[in-house]
C-alpha cells in the first residue's frame, strides 16, 4: 500500500512539474517582461538592473526552480494588465466558479440518476427510447450553443431568468455566495443547467449500463423470487449497487467541469475564474494564464489521485497493479 501511495504521489508530482514547465515556457515565449515593464526611454543599465532583480540573468534551470518555488507558495506575480496580485484576483473569482460547478453537479445527479434508472427498467417504452435518443444529441451538442439556446428561450423569449451576471451576492468572510439571495439563485439556474447538460447524459448512460448489468445478477432474481415489490428492488437493491461508479465519475469530472466552466462563463458573463482567464488570454496577460493553468491542473491531479487511492483502499487487487 505504501509503495502504491508513493508511486501515485510521484506520478502526480511529475504531472504538476510538467504543467508548471508549460506555464513557465509561456512566460519565456511571450514577450520580454523587461520590455513590458519599463518604458521606451529606459537606459541599458536600468534594463540590466531590472533583469538581474527579476532573476532573468540566471540560468534556465535556476529560473525554472524559482518559478516552481514561487508557484508552490501561491505566488504567480502581478497581472501585466492591472498590476494586481494574481493569486488575489483568482481567489476573488474562485467562489463563483465553485458554486456554478457545485450546482451543475447537483443537477446532473438529481436528473441523471432517475433518467438512467427509467431507461434501464422501461427499456421498450417510447419515453425511454426518446430519452436515449435525446442523450446522444445532448452528448454531442456544443456547450456554448446550448447556453445561447437557453438564453434565447428563457431570457429573451420568456424573460424568466436573467441572461448574464451573478445577481446579488452575500459576503461571508472571503467567500462571496450568490446562493443566499433571490436574484443570485435565479441567475445561477441557466448557466448551471447549460454546464450540467453533458454531465446529465454521462450520468444517465452510466447508470443505465450499470443497472442493466445488476438487474441480470442472481441476488436480484432472488429478491424477485422472495416477492419484494419491483420498486424496492429497483431503487433499494439495484440502484445502490450502481452508485459507486457514479461517485467516481462525478469526482473525476469535477476537474473537467471547472475547466469547461470557462465556456459557460463566457456565454453567461459569469464572473468566475474562467472568464478571468479568457479575458487574460485576449490581452496576453501571461501571469494570470499561467496561474489559472496551474490551479486547474492541480485540482484535476489531486482529484484523480484521491479517486485512485480510494479505489486502492476499497479494492486491494489494484495496489500491486502494474499496467
Partner 1 sequence: MTDIHASVTARRDKPKGRLERLRDSDLWWSFSRSRSAVGAAIALGLVILTALFAPLLSPQNPYDLAALELWNAELPPVWMEGGQMPYVLGTDVQGRDILSGILYGTRVSVFIGIASVLVSLGVGVLAGLTAGFFGGWVDNVLMRVGDVLLSIPIILVAILVSSVAQALLPPHLREAGISVVLVLAIAMYSWVQYARVVRAQTMVERRKEYVQASRLVGTPARRLMLKHILPNTLTPVFVTATLNFGLAILIEATLSFLGVGMPPNQPSLGTLIRVGNQYLFSGSWWIVLFPSIQLCILVVAVNMLGDWLRDALNPKLR
DSSP per-residue string spanning 17-83: HHHHHHHHHHHHHS--HHHHHS-TT--HHHHHHHHHHTTTTS-HHHHHHHHHHHHHTT---B-TTT-
Nearer to partner 1, 19 or 117 (CB): 19
Nearer to partner 1, 31 or 55 (CB): 31
Nearer to partner 1, 76 or 300 (CB): 300
How far, in Å, CA of 245 to CA of 116, rounded? 13
Minimum Å gap between C-beta 145 and partner 1 is 5
Minimum Å gap between C-beta 255 and partner 1 is 7
Nearer to partner 1, 150 or 239 (CB): 150
Minimum Å gap between C-beta 93 and partner 1 is 16
CA gyration radius, the chain? 24
Q: How many CB atoms lie within 10 A of CB 299?
A: 17
Nearer to partner 1, 109 or 163 (CB): 163
Minimum Å gap between C-beta 67 and partner 1 is 16
Minimum Å gap between C-beta 299 and partner 1 is 10
How far, in Å, CA of 142 to CA of 251, rounded? 22
* Alpha-carbon distances, residue 2 vs 16, 55, 253, 309, 319 (angstroms): 21, 39, 27, 11, 9
DSSP per-residue string spanning 210-245: HHHHHHTSHHHHHHHHTT--HHHIIIIIIGGGGHHH
How far, in Å, CA of 108 to CA of 193, rounded? 8
Minimum Å gap between C-beta 243 and partner 1 is 25
Per this entry, what is the length of the chain? 323
Minimum Å gap between C-beta 219 and partner 1 is 25
Residues at the site binding partner 1, with contacts judged by CB under 8 A: 14-15, 18-19, 22, 26, 29-31, 136-137, 139-145, 148-149, 151-152, 156, 163, 255-256, 259-260, 262-263, 266-267, 278, 281-282, 284, 289, 293, 296-297, 300-301, 304
Give Cβ neighbours of residue 105 (< 8 Å, ≥ 6 apart). 196, 199, 250, 253, 254, 257
Minimum Å gap between C-beta 256 and partner 1 is 5
Minimum Å gap between C-beta 302 and partner 1 is 11
How far, in Å, CA of 285 to CA of 184, rounded? 30
Nearer to partner 1, 52 or 269 (CB): 269
How far, in Å, CA of 13 to CA of 135, rounded? 37
Nearer to partner 1, 93 or 237 (CB): 93
3-state secondary structure of 130: helix
Q: How many CB atoms lie within 10 A of CB 197?
A: 22
Nearer to partner 1, 261 or 312 (CB): 261
Nearer to partner 1, 78 or 139 (CB): 139
Amino acid at each position: 500500500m505504501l509503495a502504491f501511495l508513493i508511486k501515485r504521489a510521484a506520478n502526480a508530482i511529475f504531472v504538476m512539474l510538467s504543467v508548471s514547465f508549460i506555464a513557465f515556457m509561456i512566460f519565456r515565449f511571450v514577450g520580454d517582461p523587461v520590455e513590458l515593464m519599463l518604458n521606451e526611454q529606459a537606459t541599458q543599465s536600468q534594463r540590466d538592473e531590472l533583469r538581474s532583480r527579476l532573476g532573468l540573468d540566471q540560468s534556465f534551470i535556476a529560473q525554472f526552480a524559482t518559478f516552481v518555488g514561487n508557484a508552490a507558495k501561491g505566488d504567480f506575480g502581478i497581472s501585466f494588465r492591472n498590476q494586481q496580485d494574481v493569486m488575489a484576483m483568482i481567489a476573488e473569482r474562485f467562489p463563483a466558479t465553485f458554486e456554478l460547478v457545485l450546482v451543475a453537479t447537483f443537477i446532473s445527479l438529481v436528473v441523471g440518476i432517475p433518467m438512467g434508472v427509467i431507461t434501464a427498467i422501461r427499456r421498450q417504452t417510447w419515453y425511454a427510447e426518446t430519452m436515449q435518443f435525446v442523450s446522444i444529441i445532448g452528448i454531442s451538442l456544443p456547450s456554448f450553443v446550448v447556453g445561447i439556446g437557453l438564453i434565447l428561450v428563457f431570457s429573451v423569449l420568456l424573460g424568466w431568468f436573467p441572461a448574464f451576471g451573478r445577481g446579488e451576492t452575500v459576503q461571508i468572510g472571503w467567500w462571496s455566495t450568490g446562493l443566499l439571495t433571490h436574484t443570485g439563485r435565479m441567475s445561477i439556474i441557466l448557466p448551471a443547467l447549460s454546464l450540467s447538460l453533458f454531465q446529465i447524459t454521462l450520468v444517465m448512460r452510466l447508470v443505465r449500463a450499470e443497472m442493466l448489468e445488476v438487474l441480470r445478477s442472481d441476488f436480484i432474481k432472488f429478491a424477485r423470487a422472495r416477492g419484494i415489490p419491483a420498486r424496492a428492488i429497483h431503487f433499494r437493491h439495484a440502484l445502490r449497487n450502481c452508485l459507486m461508479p457514479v461517485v467516481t465519475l462525478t469526482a473525476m469530472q469535477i476537474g473537467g467541469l471547472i475547466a469547461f466552466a470557462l465556456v459557460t462563463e463566457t456565454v453567461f458573463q459569469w464572473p468566475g475564474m474562467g472568464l478571468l482567464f479568457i479575458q487574460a488570454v485576449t490581452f496576453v496577460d501571461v501571469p494570470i494564464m499561467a496561474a489559472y493553468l496551474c490551479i486547474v491542473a492541480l485540482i484535476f491531479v489531486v482529484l484523480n489521485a484521491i479517486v485512485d487511492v480510494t479505489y486502492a483502499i476499497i479494492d486491494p487487487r489494484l495496489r500491486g497493479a502494474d499496467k
